[in-house]
Amino acid sequence: MASVADNRFESDQSDSSAAAASPRTKVLVVGPVTAVGGIGQVARMSVNAMDQRRFDIATCDTTKDTPEDRSLFSALWSHVRRFVNLIRSIRTHRPEVVHLHTCSYLTFYRTLIDVAVCRRLGRNYVLHIHGGLFDEFLGSLSGWKKAWVSSALRHAGRVIVLGERWRTNLTRRVAGMNIAVLPNAIELSHEARKPSTMPASMGALFIGDLCEAKRPEDMIVAYGSLPSPMRKAFPLHIIGGGTPQRRAHLRSLTQRLGIEDRVIFHGSLRHDQVTEILEAADLFVLPSRAEGQPIALLEAMAADRPSIVTNVGAIPETVTDGIEALIVEPCNPLQLANAMRELFADPAKRRSMGIAARKRVESDFSTRRFVQDLGVIWECEARRSVKKDSAPIPRLASTSFRSIL
């Protein structure tokens, strides 16, 4: 698969050798670089995997640092500290490009404040859109909210999306954006696997937040419709956190279906624990109704696991139906059950799909490809930057929130 970075800057790749001899491009990465989860992994990659000889990278970590049951005061104070930290980072690092990792709804509204800061201080910014609900988010907007969000998208030096379908969706919602397609990637291990302590056959595995958009209930209903001998041979493992209400709802569903003894809820686990279970699983299942480009799917492919996934987001650009995975329609437990039954009954097909999945992720979704394409975007945007280095940046001590916004 060729690089899918925007063709408007592909010609800049020929300048990469010259750029290596130039002063390093200064970049500020704003995102959850210490967080667990897909966005956190990509945010860390956009810091740690980049060539330090070409880029001088600073970070502004947006990882949530307060508990779920935090008070309103704690939440507001956390946002103020994050806001002040961004201003301080821009003042001290003076980046040519500010790379903003974001998604939808409340997270994007917070990002709008970051955008206002960048524009006020003359910094060129890149918006990196994650998550599967951004199209739904844009469709819910009207009036001044739509105008505010559209302005932020149009003024971005680049809007990065995860697949061509996302480019089409966003262009349909907001015209005039400068969009680049940059698929996610993962670090691939080529070391021999360590002996596993897991059972030889772990059955089906789900990895992800237990939120409604991931639709784990569809998977549970589909699994409950499988023949009893098949469920006995292949348990269902669910890894991921969620609200207490969601966890209670899903456990109650397994009880009503009479399959609570075959469905194992692991909760949130360390990455090495997830990897160990994944490598022992017979297949990976992701029944989402909305996705960007799930890191969990790429990790399953890297572990040569066959997958059952839904026809949403950039998933159809990540796997080919019948080759690396089976693709079903979202919110359709019957199709999901048929796909599970087909793969559980055919170990040869599971093996061939797993081998094909590993090859696909090695060729199309490697860190090397991600680093190359993101580097081109940064260097292109640094050259295009309209900031004036001679313009003084306001000091925190003399700058009010009104003047910043």
For the stretch 16-36, pLDDT in tens is 454 445 789 999 999 999 888
Residues forming a β-bridge with 29: 59, 99
pLDDT at res. 69: 62
CA proximity to 83, closest of 393, 398, 401, 387: 401
- Architecture, CATH, for domain 10-185+366-404: 3-Layer(aba) Sandwich (3.40)
What are the angstrom distances between the C-alpha of 70 and each of 73, 74, 243, 369, 391?
8, 6, 14, 40, 40
- The yes-or-no verdict on residue 13 having pLDDT over 90 is no
| Arithmetic mean of pLDDT, 190-217 | 80
What residue has token string 């599970």? Answer: 340
Q: Phi and psi for 251 in degrees, rounded to 5?
A: -65, -40
| Residue 155: strand, helix, or coil | helix
Q: What is the C-alpha separation between 214 and 210, in angstroms, rounded?
A: 7
Average pLDDT value for the chain: 88
For the record, the structure tokens of 71 come out as 């008070």
pLDDT at res. 198: 59
Q: What is the C-alpha separation between 30 and 82, in angstroms, rounded?
A: 10
Helices (H), 29-71: 38-48
What are the angstrom distances between the C-alpha of 140 and each of 11, 104, 151, 214?
37, 11, 16, 20
- The yes-or-no verdict on residue 165 having pLDDT over 80 is yes
Q: What is the C-alpha separation between 304 and 127, in angstroms, rounded?
A: 32
Q: Which helix (H) or strand (E) holds 28?
A: strand 25-31
DSSP string, 79-137: HHHHHHHHHHHHHHH--SEEEEEE-STHHHHHHHHHHHHHHHTT-EEEEEE-SS-HHHH
CA 19 and chain centroid, separation: 29
For the stretch 288-312, pLDDT in tens is 999 999 999 999 999 999 999 999 9
Q: Phi and psi for 366 in degrees, rounded to 5?
A: -85, 160
Q: What is the C-alpha separation between 8 and 178, in angstroms, rounded?
A: 9
pLDDT at res. 76: 81
Enumerate residues 6+ apart whose C-beta is below 8 A from 405: 113, 116, 120
Q: Where are the domains of the chain?
A: 10-185+366-404, 204-364
CA proximity to 153, closest of 168, 139, 173, 130: 173
Q: What is the C-alpha separation between 122 and 68, in angstroms, rounded?
A: 35
Sort 227 into a burial class: Cβ within 10 Å, 0-12 / 13-18 / 19+.
Answer: exposed
Sort 42 into a burial class: Cβ within 10 Å, 0-12 / 13-18 / 19+.
Answer: buried
Quote the percentage of the chain above a pLDDT of 70: 85
Asked if the domains 10-185+366-404 and 204-364 are classified in one and the same CATH topology, the answer is yes
- The yes-or-no verdict on residue 399 having pLDDT over 60 is no
CA proximity to 39, closest of 131, 153, 160: 131
Quote the percentage of the chain above a pLDDT of 90: 76
For the stretch 244-269, pLDDT in tens is 999 999 999 999 999 999 999 999 99
pLDDT at res. 64: 80
pLDDT at res. 184: 96
Residue pair 9/180 in contact by the 8 Å Cβ criterion: yes
Q: What is the C-alpha separation between 265 and 215, in angstroms, rounded?
A: 15
Tell me whether strands 283-286 and 263-267 are parallel, antiparallel or unpaired.
unpaired
pLDDT at res. 199: 60
- The yes-or-no verdict on residue 397 having pLDDT over 90 is no
The CATH class given to the 204-364 domain equals alpha beta
